[in-house]
Structure formats: structure tokens, C-alpha cells
Amino acid sequence: MVEDKLFATLDPTSRALVLPDGRRVMLIDTVGLIRRLPHHLVEAFKSTLEEAASAAVILNVCDASGKECAEHLKVTNELLDDLNCGDTPVLTVMNKCDLAPGIFDLPQIGKAMMISALTGRGLDTLLSEIAKALPPTRRQAELLFPYAAGADAAEMRREGVVLEEDFRGDGLYMKAIADFRLLDRFKKYILN
């Protein structure tokens, strides 16, 4: 359900997301936070919000067109402090920028991302910033797969991001971005 109403969506939602660098991450949308939340609701949301403490990156999404935008950001930051998330990177995401005239023309401040989920504007930048904020798990490598190792080359295509591919006399050349573990398994094919 999508509705512009307080507590229209109370259930957390999880979705897989592929970042521009090819990494697959799990994106979890938790409940929105407001000041002076009734005590029984705070307790009900606590387990959901504690998920933030184990996140690799936190996206603090706020309605840029809302009158209480600054207050919502403050409340969320205070709650994240209470949950001991101080070491976790936090990206502030200002959504609904399509409803705030001229906001895309303002200079970006810190890690605040200006987006419109409705129009898609700014989403590419947001995805790139998420990838930068995550700890590195992938790197680029050049590999040469002997033709007899076709299954390994197919796995690289499936699990990595192939940037270049060339059939050569001595095997299949690939320039790819892949997970450290996959590259370690294929280290005998890595050039230089």
C-alpha cells in the first residue's frame, strides 16, 4: 500500500538490490520515525529498528517537501545514537524533491542525496554513494581463462561484472569486477 498518511505502511519491507558495481545487497525499509511516538508503538517498533544497528549502511530517508523535515532528521539521528549506530555510515536521502521547487539546483551538502522516487531523478547518484559507503568486497581484475575452463568463465559472467571480453589464441580474456572470494578461487587465471 502507498498512501500519504502517517503509519500507512508499518511492516518492514526487504528487497534485493544490485548496485552499479554489481554487488547484490538487501535493502530493508523500516517504519518512519516521529517525535512523541506513543510508548506502546515505540516498543512494537524497537525490534525492527534494532536491525539498523547491524546494517552496513543506513539510509535516512526524509520527505524534502515536508514542513517538519529538519525535525524528522533530528529525531532519526537521535534514535540512531540511542541504538549505538555511531560507527555505521549514514546517508541522508531527501526524497520527494520533485515537490520542492529548486531543491535539485541547490549544492549538495555532505552526504545528503536529493532524489525523487516518483521521477527517478537522483537515484543513480544515490546507488553510487551506497556502493562507496559499503566496505569493499570486490575488485577489478584481468583474467585469461583457458578454453578448457569454460565453466569457470561462465561462472565469472554469472557472478561478476564483465567489462571486457576477448577471444584470444591462448584463451578467453576478461576484464571483470568480482567478489574477493571468487577472484581467490580463480587466482590461477589472473594476469599480473
Q: In a structure prediction context, what are the per-residue pLDDT tens digits for the chain, which is 192 residues long?
A: 556 665 555 667 788 998 887 788 888 877 666 556 665 665 666 666 676 778 889 888 888 888 877 787 887 788 788 778 878 888 989 898 888 776 656 555 566 888 999 999 999 999 999 999 998 888 999 999 999 999 999 999 999 989 999 999 999 999 999 999 999 999 999 997
Q: What is the pLDDT of residues 138-192, one digit of tens each?
A: 899 999 999 999 999 999 999 998 999 999 999 999 999 999 999 999 999 999 7
pLDDT of residue 28: 81
Per-domain boundaries in the chain: 13-133, 138-189
> Residue 182: how many CA atoms within 13 Å on its side-chain side?
21
Cell 581467490, located at residue = 184
Phi, psi of 30 (to 5 degrees): -95, 180
Same fold, 13-133 and 138-189: no
Which residues does residue 167 pair with via DSSP β-bridges, in sequence order? Answer: 172
90-95, strands of its sheet edge to edge: 58-63, 90-95, 113-114
Which class is domain 13-133?
Answer: alpha beta
pLDDT of residue 157: 95
Q: Are strands 161-168 and 138-145 parallel, antiparallel or unpaired?
A: unpaired
Which class is domain 138-189?
Answer: alpha beta
Report residue 170 as a C-alpha cell. Answer: 591462448
CA 101 to chain centre: 26
How far apart, in whole angstroms, are the C-alpha atoms of residue 85 and residue 52?
7
Q: How many CB atoms lie within 10 A of CB 21?
A: 18
